[in-house]
Structure 1
Amino acid sequence: MTKTPIYFVPGLAAGPEIFENLKLDDSKYELQYLKWKTPLALEETIANYAMRMCNDIKTEKPILVGVSFGGIMVQEMAKFIETKKVIIISSVKNQDELPKKFKMAKFTKIYKFFPTKVVSNFEEYAQYFLGKSLKKKAKLYKKYLSIRNETYLKWSIYNVLKWEQQNTPEDIVHIHGTKDHIFPIKKIENCIKIEGGTHVMILSKAKKISKIIDEVLTC
């Protein structure tokens, strides 16, 4: 039986390790993990970056799965290549789903101070950007947030806050936790809800997410 390739894009500053708890039938699926690239410059557009990410895809009409900022990235990538399915997890589909605190950070430009905090003090990063609920678990998640390149961090935070997509892509599948404090569920429309799922449910609710992905791809 021919395996179905799935390409995964992790969240901001995260590596492929965040997908390690997913359990998908390896007789059905061939899992490919894309890694973040260093931006060509801080001014590189998200569109140009997405095109460069597409260069790592060797399959026609791929399935793309993205978590958090990775969810935004796979939507941008799908603008340049034909996809079989796009699945986003703990992410947003348009700028209206971004929380007010993101819009405030965009307005005040406080995001410009985030990168140095990330590089020099992970716990402070966890408190101010990932949310206070994660501060106590910062040591655990430090394992998964392994990308420390300052240019990438500054570029990616800027592009999360400045993302301007207005229309939700057709046929997108959105999996979202009811306890997500980064992208609150009250702002999210048309999603598959996971009760009690937080922004890092890709780790804690991997079994449920795996089942949903399989059901979506086999229905």
Structure 2
Amino acid sequence: MTKVYIFSGLGADYRAFNNIDFGDLPIEHIAWIEIENNETIESYAKRISEKLSDENPILIGLSFGGILLMEIAKIKRYQKIILIASAKDKFEIPLIYRLLGKLKFNRLIPKSILKKPNPILFWLFGAKTIEEKKLLCEILKDTDPDFLSWAINEISNWKNKTIPKNVVHIHGNKDKIIPFKNVKSNYIIQNGGHLMTMNKADEIQKLILELCRS
């Protein structure tokens, strides 16, 4: 059976997939690696892709993980890419993010603020229940602030215009971080937000299993 590598989102890890049962799929969650000085997303993608030891795997990317997969796809062979709540090229990134990146306003955000949960952050991610808010708080607490700041800058200044082959995009129509109107998705999750791997897990799980076995 084809190996499945999973890349979580910005400020997230394997816990974002806690509510999804992958059954007998041979999965491996790829942990983030430390960034190097003045590193670009292209360089980072090349280094982290060395963790993909299997040939022609299926790649799953959540949010920033999906953006990173668009760069990995340029240098690694793969069978299929499944994007969840993500973007395929720079044009699917909200214009306001790109403008802030061009003006370098994103660099003015204190790193400490990025790790402090608050009502606005819960709203953006679509965390509504106590369980969802608690998990989001735990993930943010464990996230390296330097990595978080670096990734936000790379997203804001992402230059990619190339959409690789065999990409399947799953997106929620209530996503506030990457609005549904910005993307061209293959599958729509009704009332799905940016945390839909948690609160729409059954629907996401069904799609993943079908796509990985087809």
> Is TM > 0.5 for Structure 1 vs Structure 2?
yes
Corresponding residue to 1:33 among 22, 29, 32: 29
Q: Which runs of 4+ in 1 moved over 4 A?
A: 132-138
Corresponding residue to 1:15 among 13, 16, 21: 13
Corresponding residue to 1:177 among 172, 181, 197: 172
In 2: Cα distance, 1:213 partner to 1:135 partner: 24
Structure 2: gaps spanning 5 or more residues: none
Q: Which residue of 2 aligns with 1:189?
A: 184
Q: Report the TM-score when normalising by structure 1.
A: 0.87
Q: Report the TM-score when normalising by structure 2.
A: 0.89
- Does 2:3 match 1:5? yes
Deviation digits for residues 130-156 of structure 1 (CA, Å, limit 9, x no counterpart): 728559964441123354323211211
- Cα drift, residue 181 of structure 1: 0.8
Say what the alpha-carbon RMSD is for the aligned residues: 2.2
> Does the 8 Å CA contact 2:126/2:195 hold for their aligned counterparts?
no
Deviation digits for residues 152-175 of structure 1 (CA, Å, limit 9, x no counterpart): 112111111111111322220000
- Does 2:75 match 1:80? yes
> Does the 8 Å CA contact 1:117/1:125 hold for their aligned counterparts?
no
Q: Which residue of 2 aligns with 1:159?
A: 154
> Does the 8 Å CA contact 1:87/1:174 hold for their aligned counterparts?
yes
AA partner of residue 195 (structure 1): Q
Deviation digits for residues 105-133 of structure 1 (CA, Å, limit 9, x no counterpart): 213422111523124x3328827xx7285
Correspondences of 1:93-112 after superposition (within 5 Å) = 93-112=88-107
In 2: Cα distance, 1:169 partner to 1:55 partner: 19
Q: Which residue of 1 aligns with 2:139?
A: 144
> Does the 8 Å CA contact 1:37/1:152 hold for their aligned counterparts?
no
- Does 2:128 match 1:117? no
AA partner of residue 74 (structure 1): L
